[in-house]
Amino acid sequence: MTAVALATFAIVVATVLGVLVRPFRLPEYVFALAGACALLVGGLLPPAAAWIAVAKGFDVYLFLIGMMLLAEVARQEGLFDWIADHAAHAARGSARRLFVLVFGVGILVTVFLSNDATAVVLTPAVYAVARRAGVAPLPYLFACAFIANAASFVLPISNPANLVVYGERLPALAPWIRTFALPSFVAIATTYAILRWTQRAELRKPLAPAPAVEPLSTAGRAAGVALLIAAVVLVGASALGRDLGLPTLVCGVLALVAASIIAARSPAPALKHVAWGVLPLVAGLFILVSGLEHVGGVRFIADWLSKHDGAAPAQTAFVAGLVAGFGANVVNNLPLGLLVGAAGAAAAAPDKAMAGLLIGVDLGPNLSVTGSLATLLWLIAIRREGAQVGALRFLVLGALVMPPALLLSLAALVLV
């Protein structure tokens, strides 16, 4: 390995550690940008390559802004509190039933609105549910975090990383479902079983009596309609092979304008509370992966795929998925998706190998808080609600949940 490659790898590792540990409690994006600047200042990555890397995420930035606007409008107009009250009533005093409800809703939101929506939209509602039910929120918040990744390859729109990995080679909806239906079911079921077992002590505690459900305001109903419209638009855009960023942004802006007009209030408070730091965080991660690509990361992966896939396609898909799964926790799954997607295209990797890589990119991030953008968004969302989850605590739980789910899901892919 050359000195340039070693220096690049060292900067990437130091950046990820910074995002994980957050020295001096600085925001995650500070470390991502610092790592990106280190590559540029050290002459390890040309400025033009860094700019191209940032531009690659344009559709992702639009998607995130739209989702964060939708979530903030819904929160501000009381939609999450209204949903929380209904969920508390539906649980009928049972923490186990409430956990199943949260997990089930998390599957639906992830599948039809993306895993980032589960982190941004569902997490505040779940926190409100736990608060009203008088129970510790973490078991239910963990359900949001883990299902956001476990259900993220049911459909192409379930994770922006899916679009990044496949690019122009994205399969049509029917072949996608044939390939990923069983692995998705295995991933979801395994994640649920292990997570339910690890949280069993908290789930034995009774819930507080459910409060009366207050009527939802007109602006709150508008926010709910906007979320439903966004789901329909995203499914339609995916079926037509369109980018998801601009439609999501339009839905978010329209929701913000409609709620502001109906409630006769300025949109400024909602805009102020959007987690804008996510955008430089993502841009910094894209630059870091461009640095790895610049020192031969794409060529190395492509050569390995080309060498092994012809002789043992099933084993290659399995091993590739495992490596991608653990690798996502080093550089985050979205930029890693760019790296393996480019490598797969360069190697003309067959469907099975690409599917294995995608499962690793999507499911592997359940190991750590840095694994996926959805988990980072989830971390920001719960921090905003006043809850705290340390990186080590998440890693201990992720080490129990992720490896069995990844192994069994990849086995379901290659054995069928």
Nearest to 214 by CA among 88, 38, 375, 389: 88
- 337-355 burial by CB neighbour count: b if 16+ within 10 A, else e? bbbbbbbbbebebeebbbb
Nearest to 265 by CA among 78, 67, 64, 62: 78
Nearest to 363 by CA among 159, 199, 200, 182: 159
Distance CA 62, CA 82 (A): 28
Question: Mean pLDDT of successive 10-residue segments in the chain (416 residues)?
Answer: 84 82 83 93 92 87 86 83 80 89 90 84 86 88 96 89 78 86 97 96 85 82 88 80 84 92 89 86 86 78 68 81 88 79 74 90 93 88 84 93 97 90
Q: Decide if 156 contacts 115 (C-beta within 8 A).
A: no
The pLDDT score that the predictor gives to residue 90 is 85
Q: Does the predicted TM-score (pTM) go above 0.75?
A: yes
Residue 239's contacts (CB-CB under 8 Å, 6 or more residues apart) are: 173
Distance CA 20, CA 30 (A): 12
Angle formed by the axes of helices 313-331 and 278-294, to 10°?
A: 130
Helices first, then strands: H and E counts in the chain: 21, 0
Helices (H), 151-276: 160-166, 173-198, 218-239, 245-263, 268-273
CA distances (Å), origin 378, targets 79, 122, 126:
18, 9, 11
